[in-house]
Chains A and B, each alone.
Chain A
């Protein structure tokens, strides 16, 4: 059993070599940070966010920052709204009937839910990896190429984009000889890395991950955690996980959510505490956080 009071060590794989991204591909993302940017600037600033499904308040009063080039983890018991919250960052909740958001999420200075903002472009810039790997019923190549093609990548660039994305997702060597074969022929862990490659192929600056390892075996999980460490040099990662040890291993900051039963017996999620992962796990400020982390509460 992992002692969560141990300091987090060795998250970033020193041996990983970053693959340089060519100018015209990078041009698709105007504010891609290749120069000296302070890594602690906020990508997202959330203020008093509330999420409703119809009349039901699923999440209340959330305020926090997501910082650039960091891994932020959302932890908490099931039903506490962490996935709901995650989906606010790429406006995936828009797809659900009756879902609405109050409060503000600021994305690089823009109100994400401003009615002039096109959610389609938001989703290109804020990518997502889902709990169960969900590759398209197409070839490996077409899985990766789908997004860039829509975003306007030229035919000639696609081969490069596919290769770079697969390299970045640490999958290239395993599939380079069978790019045209079906994505369903890959193992679970490979499929999830494919999904990661697919997400980064459109040059996002944020990648959201909704319990990406919960359907995978420990070895595949380990590879993905390693990958997350490697990806932070270029992307900002937000990960929802029900596995505390995972949060302790991979993240820089952690936000702990819990569920509150209100007068009518409805469960509303709320943010209890957010801070540097090390601090949260060794010296949490709130007793509820401590109770969850030490296993007193589920």
Chain B
């Protein structure tokens, strides 16, 4: 060979190389920040929650109700209220959200889809405080009062309905993705055998999309449990709540109790444990929603294997 090179000639300019190495570190650090956020959340709530848990007496946790400033921290009050409101929310959101998703994925003309999809996205951005106002200015006075005479102005039913409305777009969009992920060949096979559209949809498409639909429901439920402003405004009972299971009564949830404690942090008079209970509830809420999300992922993975 008459031309030879040395290794030194097969190098890039030092400036370019330095920039390239530096860039890698910058991006890595940014990713590390996201992990840091998680760690901070866990550290923040864990330490205070632990203090609360170690200082609180057992009969304080199983009291007649949630009266933090009097040292009564009955968890079942809040848990039952959260569960009830979320259940009502699911009853509102699943039929409507799933129905809309099926319509958009299976039936709607492209023209209709092009209008409906952005509308659903707009709905998803409605601030929760507005839905809270909607609950007390419309749902309770103009709707529920006409059907139920005894209903309290602040009640769990209205809160549940409003939370359901809030969650509809979320369920609709995840469900729609799940439905559209079902391969067309399945639909064609079914029609090819002579099935009508409704049969194909109900007996072929929905079962095939089941994992995604369940994920939608679980994500929706998780969102409902974590919702704060709607329930604080519409259901009341954030400051103090007597244990009750009636949907017509007011009731504080985990989240509205947290909001009330947060509002009162300027004047943490009375029981010091009260302030720490804020973090304890936060830990509880974090674990519940984390658990739900992990279960949701597990279901999706397990069902996906079957297909």
Contacts and interface: CB of A to CB of B under 8 A. Distances in A.
Contact of B7 (A31, A37, A116, A120): A116
Interface in A98-135: 107-110, 114, 116-118, 120-122, 125
B3 interface: yes
Contacts of A152: 13
A121 B11 contact: yes
Nearest to B15: A152
A120 B1 CA distance: 24
30 contacts: A30-B9, A31-B3, A31-B5, A37-B2, A41-B1, A42-B1, A68-B3, A107-B5, A108-B1, A108-B3, A108-B4, A108-B5, A109-B1, A109-B4, A109-B5, A109-B6, A110-B4, A110-B5, A110-B7, A110-B10, A114-B7, A117-B7, A117-B11, A118-B17, A120-B12, A121-B9, A121-B10, A121-B11, A121-B12, A125-B10
A95 interface: no
B16 interface: yes
Interface string A21-51: 0000000001101000110011000000000
Interface string B1-34: 1111111011111001100000000000000000
Contacts of B13: 152
Contact of A118 (B5, B6, B12): B12
Interface in B190-232: none
A90 to B, nearest CB: 12
Interface residues of B, number: 14
Interface of B: 1-7, 9-13, 16-17
A147 to B, nearest CB: 13
> Which 8 pairs across A and B sit closest by C-beta, in order of nearness?
A109-B4, A108-B5, A120-B12, A117-B10, A31-B3, A118-B12, A118-B11, A121-B12
Nearest to B4: A109
A38 B6 CA distance: 20
A108 B2 CA distance: 9
The DSSP consensus for interface residues of chain B is loop
Nearest to A124: B12
Chain A interface category by residue count: 20 to 34
A41 B12 contact: no
B151 to A, nearest CB: 60
A110 B7 CA distance: 6
Contacts of A118: 10-12, 17
Contacts of A116: 7
A125 B7 CA distance: 13
A15 B166 CA distance: 74
B282 to A, nearest CB: 40
Q: Which among A68, A109, A114 has the greatest number of chain B C-beta atoms within 10 A? A: A109
B10 to A, nearest CB: 5
A33 B2 CA distance: 11
A105 to B, nearest CB: 12
A219 interface: no
A119 B135 CA distance: 63
A110 B6 contact: yes
A96 interface: no
Contacts of A33: 3
Contacts of B9: 30, 121
A30 B4 CA distance: 11
B100 to A, nearest CB: 36
A42 B17 CA distance: 30
A9 interface: no
Contacts of B6: 109-110
A232 to B, nearest CB: 16
A150 B2 contact: no
Contacts of A120: 12, 16
A225 to B, nearest CB: 27
Contacts of A30: 9
A175 B1 CA distance: 39
Q: Which among B3, B4, B7, B16 has the greatest number of chain A C-beta atoms within 10 A? A: B3
A30 B9 CA distance: 9
B16 A150 contact: yes
B2 A38 contact: yes
B11 A41 contact: no
Contacts of A42: 1
Contacts of B10: 107, 110, 117-118, 121-122, 125
A152 to B, nearest CB: 6
A234 B9 CA distance: 20
A252 B60 CA distance: 91
A125 B5 CA distance: 12
B53 to A, nearest CB: 45
Contacts of A125: 10
Contacts of A114: 7
Contacts of B1: 41-42, 108-109
A129 B238 CA distance: 67
A41 B5 CA distance: 14
Contacts of B11: 117-118, 121
Nearest to A122: B10
A152 B12 CA distance: 10
A118 B13 CA distance: 10
